[in-house]
Amino acid sequence: MATPPYAGPRADIGVIGGSGLYAFLDHATTVQLDTPWGQPSDVVTVGEVAGRSVAFVPRHGRDHRFPPHRVNYRANLWALRTVGVRQVLGPCAVGSLRAEHDAGTVVIPEQVVDRTWGRPSTFYDEPGPVVHVAFADPYCPHGREAAVAAAGDRGMRFVDGGTLVVVNGPRFSSRAESLWHQAQGWTAVGMTGMPEAILARELALCYTSIALVTDLDAGIEQGEGVTHDEVLRVFADNIAKVRALLADVITALPSPNGDCSCRHAVEGMKLPFDLP
Protein backbone atom coordinates (compact mmCIF):
# COMPACT_ATOMS: atom_id res chain seq x y z
CA MET A 1 0.00 0.00 0.00
CA ALA A 2 1.71 3.16 -1.20
CA THR A 3 0.78 6.58 0.11
CA PRO A 4 2.02 9.83 -1.43
CA PRO A 5 4.77 11.58 0.54
CA TYR A 6 3.52 14.21 2.96
CA ALA A 7 5.03 17.69 2.65
CA GLY A 8 2.81 19.78 4.97
CA PRO A 9 3.30 21.04 8.54
CA ARG A 10 4.53 18.42 10.97
CA ALA A 11 4.00 17.67 14.65
CA ASP A 12 5.60 15.39 17.24
CA ILE A 13 2.60 15.05 19.57
CA GLY A 14 -1.00 14.22 18.68
CA VAL A 15 -4.22 14.85 20.59
CA ILE A 16 -7.50 13.11 19.76
CA GLY A 17 -10.34 14.70 21.68
CA GLY A 18 -13.39 16.90 21.85
CA SER A 19 -13.85 19.98 19.71
CA GLY A 20 -13.58 22.24 22.78
CA LEU A 21 -9.83 21.57 22.81
CA TYR A 22 -9.02 23.61 19.69
CA ALA A 23 -8.35 26.70 21.77
CA PHE A 24 -5.13 25.40 23.26
CA LEU A 25 -3.25 25.41 19.94
CA ASP A 26 -1.19 28.44 18.92
CA HIS A 27 -0.27 29.31 15.31
CA ALA A 28 -2.73 26.71 14.04
CA THR A 29 -2.88 25.44 10.46
CA THR A 30 -5.44 22.97 9.15
CA VAL A 31 -4.47 20.05 6.94
CA GLN A 32 -6.90 18.03 4.82
CA LEU A 33 -5.73 14.43 4.66
CA ASP A 34 -6.95 11.24 3.10
CA THR A 35 -5.68 7.83 4.20
CA PRO A 36 -5.83 4.24 2.91
CA TRP A 37 -8.54 3.80 5.55
CA GLY A 38 -10.68 6.72 4.42
CA GLN A 39 -10.86 10.25 5.78
CA PRO A 40 -10.23 11.17 9.40
CA SER A 41 -13.10 12.50 11.50
CA ASP A 42 -12.18 16.00 10.34
CA VAL A 43 -9.24 18.10 9.21
CA VAL A 44 -6.04 17.79 11.23
CA THR A 45 -5.08 21.02 12.98
CA VAL A 46 -1.33 21.50 13.49
CA GLY A 47 -0.03 24.14 15.89
CA GLU A 48 2.04 24.69 19.01
CA VAL A 49 1.62 24.27 22.73
CA ALA A 50 4.35 25.80 24.90
CA GLY A 51 6.74 25.65 21.94
CA ARG A 52 6.04 22.00 21.12
CA SER A 53 4.47 20.96 17.82
CA VAL A 54 1.04 19.37 18.26
CA ALA A 55 -1.55 17.94 15.86
CA PHE A 56 -5.20 17.75 16.88
CA VAL A 57 -8.05 15.63 15.50
CA PRO A 58 -11.62 16.04 16.82
CA ARG A 59 -12.58 12.45 17.48
CA HIS A 60 -16.27 12.91 16.64
CA GLY A 61 -15.79 15.66 14.04
CA ARG A 62 -16.12 19.40 14.60
CA ASP A 63 -19.89 19.18 14.83
CA HIS A 64 -19.84 15.93 16.85
CA ARG A 65 -21.46 14.07 13.96
CA PHE A 66 -19.85 10.65 14.45
CA PRO A 67 -21.17 8.45 17.28
CA PRO A 68 -18.52 6.35 19.09
CA HIS A 69 -19.11 3.23 17.01
CA ARG A 70 -18.82 5.16 13.72
CA VAL A 71 -15.59 7.05 14.39
CA ASN A 72 -12.91 6.21 11.82
CA TYR A 73 -10.26 5.39 14.42
CA ARG A 74 -7.88 3.91 11.84
CA ALA A 75 -7.91 7.02 9.67
CA ASN A 76 -7.44 9.32 12.69
CA LEU A 77 -4.34 7.47 13.91
CA TRP A 78 -2.91 7.02 10.42
CA ALA A 79 -3.34 10.75 9.72
CA LEU A 80 -1.52 11.66 12.92
CA ARG A 81 1.39 9.39 12.11
CA THR A 82 1.48 10.83 8.59
CA VAL A 83 2.13 14.35 9.93
CA GLY A 84 4.97 13.03 12.10
CA VAL A 85 3.23 12.27 15.40
CA ARG A 86 4.81 9.60 17.57
CA GLN A 87 3.15 10.38 20.94
CA VAL A 88 -0.65 10.52 21.25
CA LEU A 89 -2.85 11.79 24.10
CA GLY A 90 -6.45 10.59 24.11
CA PRO A 91 -8.62 12.72 26.43
CA CYS A 92 -12.16 11.37 26.79
CA ALA A 93 -15.29 11.55 28.93
CA VAL A 94 -16.10 8.56 31.15
CA GLY A 95 -18.57 7.42 33.76
CA SER A 96 -17.19 6.47 37.15
CA LEU A 97 -17.72 2.97 38.49
CA ARG A 98 -16.61 4.07 41.98
CA ALA A 99 -18.65 6.41 44.19
CA GLU A 100 -15.47 8.05 45.51
CA HIS A 101 -14.49 9.21 42.00
CA ASP A 102 -17.17 11.76 41.26
CA ALA A 103 -17.60 14.23 38.41
CA GLY A 104 -14.47 16.27 37.73
CA THR A 105 -12.05 13.50 38.73
CA VAL A 106 -9.38 12.63 36.15
CA VAL A 107 -8.56 8.96 35.63
CA ILE A 108 -5.21 8.01 34.08
CA PRO A 109 -5.85 4.32 33.48
CA GLU A 110 -3.24 1.61 33.45
CA GLN A 111 -5.39 -1.11 31.88
CA VAL A 112 -8.29 -1.41 29.44
CA VAL A 113 -11.08 -3.93 28.84
CA ASP A 114 -12.60 -3.96 25.36
CA ARG A 115 -16.34 -4.66 25.21
CA THR A 116 -16.90 -3.04 21.81
CA TRP A 117 -17.98 -4.95 18.73
CA GLY A 118 -18.26 -4.31 15.01
CA ARG A 119 -15.53 -1.67 14.94
CA PRO A 120 -12.51 -2.15 12.65
CA SER A 121 -9.90 -2.84 15.32
CA THR A 122 -6.72 -3.61 13.39
CA PHE A 123 -4.74 -2.38 10.41
CA TYR A 124 -3.66 -5.94 9.69
CA ASP A 125 -6.86 -7.72 8.67
CA GLU A 126 -6.21 -8.47 5.00
CA PRO A 127 -4.60 -11.69 3.70
CA GLY A 128 -0.84 -11.42 3.98
CA PRO A 129 1.72 -11.54 6.79
CA VAL A 130 -0.03 -12.17 10.11
CA VAL A 131 0.83 -9.46 12.63
CA HIS A 132 0.33 -10.10 16.36
CA VAL A 133 1.06 -7.00 18.47
CA ALA A 134 1.71 -7.21 22.21
CA PHE A 135 -0.87 -5.33 24.26
CA ALA A 136 -0.34 -6.51 27.84
CA ASP A 137 0.35 -2.94 28.92
CA PRO A 138 -1.88 -0.84 26.65
CA TYR A 139 -0.72 2.64 27.65
CA CYS A 140 2.63 4.34 27.25
CA PRO A 141 4.56 4.30 30.55
CA HIS A 142 6.23 7.63 29.82
CA GLY A 143 2.96 9.27 28.83
CA ARG A 144 1.26 8.01 31.98
CA GLU A 145 4.14 9.25 34.10
CA ALA A 146 3.88 12.71 32.56
CA ALA A 147 0.09 12.80 33.02
CA VAL A 148 0.24 11.67 36.65
CA ALA A 149 2.93 14.23 37.48
CA ALA A 150 1.01 17.04 35.76
CA ALA A 151 -2.26 16.21 37.54
CA GLY A 152 -0.45 16.06 40.86
CA ASP A 153 1.32 19.37 40.32
CA ARG A 154 -2.04 21.00 39.60
CA GLY A 155 -3.57 19.58 42.77
CA MET A 156 -6.30 17.86 40.76
CA ARG A 157 -8.45 15.00 41.97
CA PHE A 158 -7.05 12.14 39.94
CA VAL A 159 -6.68 8.39 39.89
CA ASP A 160 -3.27 6.97 39.06
CA GLY A 161 -4.05 3.64 37.44
CA GLY A 162 -7.21 1.58 37.35
CA THR A 163 -9.01 -0.02 34.45
CA LEU A 164 -11.09 1.63 31.74
CA VAL A 165 -13.81 -0.61 30.29
CA VAL A 166 -14.93 0.47 26.82
CA VAL A 167 -18.48 -0.28 25.70
CA ASN A 168 -19.87 0.06 22.22
CA GLY A 169 -22.43 2.79 22.76
CA PRO A 170 -23.99 4.99 21.77
CA ARG A 171 -26.36 3.98 24.56
CA PHE A 172 -25.30 4.15 28.19
CA SER A 173 -24.99 1.01 30.33
CA SER A 174 -27.95 -0.66 31.96
CA ARG A 175 -27.85 -0.75 35.75
CA ALA A 176 -27.10 -4.49 35.64
CA GLU A 177 -24.19 -3.98 33.23
CA SER A 178 -22.83 -1.19 35.41
CA LEU A 179 -23.02 -3.36 38.53
CA TRP A 180 -21.22 -6.14 36.66
CA HIS A 181 -18.43 -3.75 35.63
CA GLN A 182 -18.07 -2.64 39.23
CA ALA A 183 -17.96 -6.23 40.47
CA GLN A 184 -14.98 -6.87 38.20
CA GLY A 185 -13.08 -4.13 40.02
CA TRP A 186 -12.95 -1.80 37.02
CA THR A 187 -12.66 1.96 37.52
CA ALA A 188 -14.47 3.83 34.74
CA VAL A 189 -16.52 3.17 31.61
CA GLY A 190 -16.25 4.97 28.27
CA MET A 191 -17.09 4.50 24.61
CA THR A 192 -14.01 5.65 22.65
CA GLY A 193 -10.88 4.20 24.28
CA MET A 194 -10.91 1.16 22.00
CA PRO A 195 -9.86 0.41 19.35
CA GLU A 196 -7.98 3.72 19.59
CA ALA A 197 -5.37 2.34 21.99
CA ILE A 198 -4.58 -0.85 20.07
CA LEU A 199 -4.50 0.93 16.71
CA ALA A 200 -1.94 3.35 18.12
CA ARG A 201 0.16 0.40 19.28
CA GLU A 202 -0.07 -1.23 15.83
CA LEU A 203 1.43 1.96 14.38
CA ALA A 204 4.19 1.97 17.04
CA LEU A 205 2.77 5.15 18.59
CA CYS A 206 2.90 6.00 22.27
CA TYR A 207 -0.68 6.36 23.55
CA THR A 208 -1.94 7.75 26.86
CA SER A 209 -5.57 7.96 27.93
CA ILE A 210 -6.65 10.91 30.11
CA ALA A 211 -10.25 10.31 31.16
CA LEU A 212 -12.47 12.97 32.72
CA VAL A 213 -15.28 11.63 34.91
CA THR A 214 -18.51 13.36 33.89
CA ASP A 215 -20.98 11.23 35.86
CA LEU A 216 -21.49 8.27 38.14
CA ASP A 217 -22.43 5.21 36.10
CA ALA A 218 -25.90 3.70 36.36
CA GLY A 219 -25.01 1.10 38.99
CA ILE A 220 -24.05 3.67 41.62
CA GLU A 221 -26.16 6.65 40.57
CA GLN A 222 -29.62 7.07 42.03
CA GLY A 223 -32.63 8.13 39.98
CA GLU A 224 -32.99 7.86 36.22
CA GLY A 225 -29.30 7.59 35.35
CA VAL A 226 -26.98 9.75 33.29
CA THR A 227 -28.13 11.71 30.25
CA HIS A 228 -26.23 12.90 27.18
CA ASP A 229 -26.90 16.53 28.12
CA GLU A 230 -25.41 15.96 31.57
CA VAL A 231 -22.22 14.50 30.12
CA LEU A 232 -21.81 17.43 27.71
CA ARG A 233 -22.51 19.98 30.46
CA VAL A 234 -19.95 18.53 32.88
CA PHE A 235 -17.33 18.21 30.15
CA ALA A 236 -17.93 21.83 29.11
CA ASP A 237 -17.65 22.95 32.73
CA ASN A 238 -14.26 21.25 32.99
CA ILE A 239 -12.85 21.98 29.53
CA ALA A 240 -10.52 24.72 30.77
CA LYS A 241 -9.10 22.34 33.35
CA VAL A 242 -8.62 19.62 30.74
CA ARG A 243 -6.87 22.04 28.35
CA ALA A 244 -4.53 23.20 31.11
CA LEU A 245 -3.73 19.62 32.08
CA LEU A 246 -3.04 18.64 28.47
CA ALA A 247 -0.71 21.61 28.05
CA ASP A 248 1.23 20.52 31.13
CA VAL A 249 1.42 16.93 29.92
CA ILE A 250 2.58 18.00 26.47
CA THR A 251 5.32 20.10 28.04
CA ALA A 252 6.42 17.16 30.20
CA LEU A 253 6.43 14.47 27.51
CA PRO A 254 9.88 13.12 26.64
CA SER A 255 11.67 14.28 23.53
CA PRO A 256 10.28 12.72 20.35
CA ASN A 257 13.76 11.35 19.77
CA GLY A 258 13.64 9.46 23.06
CA ASP A 259 13.25 5.71 23.24
CA CYS A 260 10.13 3.85 24.42
CA SER A 261 8.90 0.29 24.21
CA CYS A 262 5.83 1.52 22.29
CA ARG A 263 8.10 2.56 19.41
CA HIS A 264 9.31 -1.03 19.04
CA ALA A 265 5.85 -2.63 18.98
CA VAL A 266 6.17 -3.94 15.41
CA GLU A 267 9.94 -4.06 15.21
CA GLY A 268 11.23 -7.16 13.41
CA MET A 269 7.79 -8.05 12.06
CA LYS A 270 7.02 -8.37 8.38
CA LEU A 271 4.26 -5.84 7.76
CA PRO A 272 1.97 -5.87 4.72
CA PHE A 273 2.71 -2.19 4.05
CA ASP A 274 5.13 0.55 5.02
CA LEU A 275 4.14 2.83 7.89
CA PRO A 276 3.97 6.54 7.05
Q: Known catalytic residues?
A: 215, 217
Q: Where are the alpha helices (DSSP H) in 64-135?
A: 73-82
Residue 163, phi then psi, degrees to nearest 5: -125, 130
Alpha-carbon distances, residue 123 vs 50, 59, 118, 157, 257 (angstroms): 33, 18, 14, 36, 25
Total Cβ atoms within 10 A of residue 76: 27
Cross-strand pairs, 52: 49
Rounded to 5°, angle at Cα 112 from 172 and 106: 70
Name the residue among 266, 40, 91, 125 with its Cα closest to residue 193: 91
Cross-strand pairs, 89: 15, 208
Alpha-carbon distances, residue 31 vs 6, 42, 78, 83, 178 (angstroms): 11, 9, 14, 9, 40
Q: 3-state DSSP call for residue 230?
A: helix
Q: What is the C-alpha to C-alpha distance for residues 131 and 164, in angstroms, rounded to an integer?
A: 25
Residue 45, phi then psi, degrees to nearest 5: -105, 120
Alpha-carbon distances, residue 84 vs 8, 34, 120, 195, 249 (angstroms): 10, 15, 23, 21, 19
